[in-house]
């Protein structure tokens, strides 16, 4: 485990996506965002009507993780929302107003292909690609550490319970050997990089102190590599109850999914899973 500011900054400079964990009330939800960086603060752009914006306006506690190379920066803190089209919000966040231009510039410079992709999608889906009320979100860390990424093995089997509710084009995502685990702790949401075997996540040992309690609502998120256009983004989130254990492989978090949230471009859906089969003798 590394807590130095320079180590965190090095990961943020090289990373591509931040996986942001929020508390939606029934448990955590982790989704990826493109980001800009000013110091250790991360900034991303969303829409006022997006789920992340609505949740963070009510519950600003947030966790996020950025991976680069063989390491990940795991951070927890608070989100601050700044509406670019609401004068009242601008006055309420006057301190952020001076940072907004630099944050947007950082976001644009880090993601030039995605900026071009957004413009392309604005022609095809103008109401979705260019929302009328853009919200700039600042992730301000209170805690941060750098951990080694757990190595993923061969792609696991996703299981019929999960694949039965997924479109065929997304079924492969639930069989990824690595993902991001989301947990709700007394201090707030946490996002951790994990190796995945189809039912159990292997956690970085250095992150053990961030996992509070043996059982909790949890999720594991998988997504495609970064694409250039919003309509090309795809991801799957397994959501349900989980519990902590330890074996020869290290700290493990077993997830029993009861719901699956997935997105394909702008289309996002959540499906309920059938209860797992009970073996009888």
Q: Which segment of 30-34, 38-42, 155-159 scores lowest on mean pLDDT?
A: 155-159
Res 39: pLDDT: 86
Res 132: pLDDT: 55
CATH code: domain of residue 52: 2.30.110.10
Res 147: pLDDT: 94
Q: Let me know if residue 268 belongs to a domain.
A: yes
Q: Let me know if residue 228 belongs to a domain.
A: yes
Q: Let me know if residue 69 belongs to a domain.
A: yes
Cα–Cα distance, 166 to 264 (Å, whole number): 11
Q: Let me know if residue 229 belongs to a domain.
A: yes
Q: How many domains does the chain have?
A: 1
Q: Let me know if residue 281 belongs to a domain.
A: no
Q: Which segment of 196-205, 223-232, 235-244 scores lowest on mean pLDDT?
A: 223-232
Q: Report whether 200 contacts 153 (CB < 8 A).
A: no
Residue 57 has φ and ψ, to the nearest 5°, of -65, -30
Average pLDDT of the chain is: 85
Model pLDDT for residues 84-101, shown as the tens digit of each residue: 666 555 555 556 667 777
Residue among 233, 227, 219 nearest 170 (CA): 233
Cα–Cα distance, 227 to 207 (Å, whole number): 29
Mean pLDDT of 2-22: 89
Environment class of 25 (CB within 10 Å of its CB; exposed 0-12, middle 13-18, buried 19+): exposed
The confidence band for 281, taking pLDDT boundaries of 50, 70 and 90, is: very low
Model pLDDT for residues 109-123, shown as the tens digit of each residue: 888 777 766 666 665
Res 156: pLDDT: 82
Token pair, residue 230, equals: 């919003």
Q: Let me know if residue 277 belongs to a domain.
A: no
Q: Report whether 276 contacts 243 (CB < 8 A).
A: no
Q: Let me know if residue 120 belongs to a domain.
A: yes
Res 96: pLDDT: 62
Which residue segment(s) compose the domain that 268 sits in? 5-272
Q: Let me know if residue 65 belongs to a domain.
A: yes
């Amino acid at each position: 485990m590394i807590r130095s500011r320079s180590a965190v900054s090095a990961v943020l400079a090289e990373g591509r996506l931040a996986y942001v964990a929020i508390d939606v009330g029934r448990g955590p939800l982790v989704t990826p965002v493109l980001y800009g960086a000013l110091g250790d603060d991360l900034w991303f752009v969303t829409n006022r009507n997006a789920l992340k914006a609505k949740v963070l306006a009510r519950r600003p506690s947030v966790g996020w993780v950025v991976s680069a190379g063989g390491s990940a920066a795991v951070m927890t803190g608070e989100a601050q929302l700044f509406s670019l089209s609401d004068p009242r919000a601008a006055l309420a966040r006057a301190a952020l107003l001076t940072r907004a231009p630099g944050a947007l510039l950082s976001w644009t410079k880090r993601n030039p292909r995605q900026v071009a992709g957004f413009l392309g999608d604005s022609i095809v889906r103008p109401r979705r690609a260019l929302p009328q009320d853009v919200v700039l979100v600042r992730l301000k860390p209170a805690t941060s550490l750098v951990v080694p990424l757990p190595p993923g093995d061969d792609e696991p089997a996703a299981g019929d319970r999960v694949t039965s509710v997924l479109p065929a084009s997304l079924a492969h995502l639930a069989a990824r050997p690595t993902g991001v685990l989301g947990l709700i702790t007394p201090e707030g949401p946490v996002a951790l990089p994990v190796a995945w075997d189809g039912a159990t996540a292997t956690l970085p040992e250095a992150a053990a102190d961030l996992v509070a309690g043996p059982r909790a609502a949890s999720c594991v998120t998988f997504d495609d590599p970064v694409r250039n256009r919003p309509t090309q983004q795809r991801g799957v989130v397994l959501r349900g109850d989980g519990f902590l254990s330890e074996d020869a492989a290290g700290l493990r978090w077993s997830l029993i999914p009861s719901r699956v949230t997935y997105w394909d471009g702008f289309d996002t859906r959540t499906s309920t899973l059938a209860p797992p089969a009970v073996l009888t003798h």
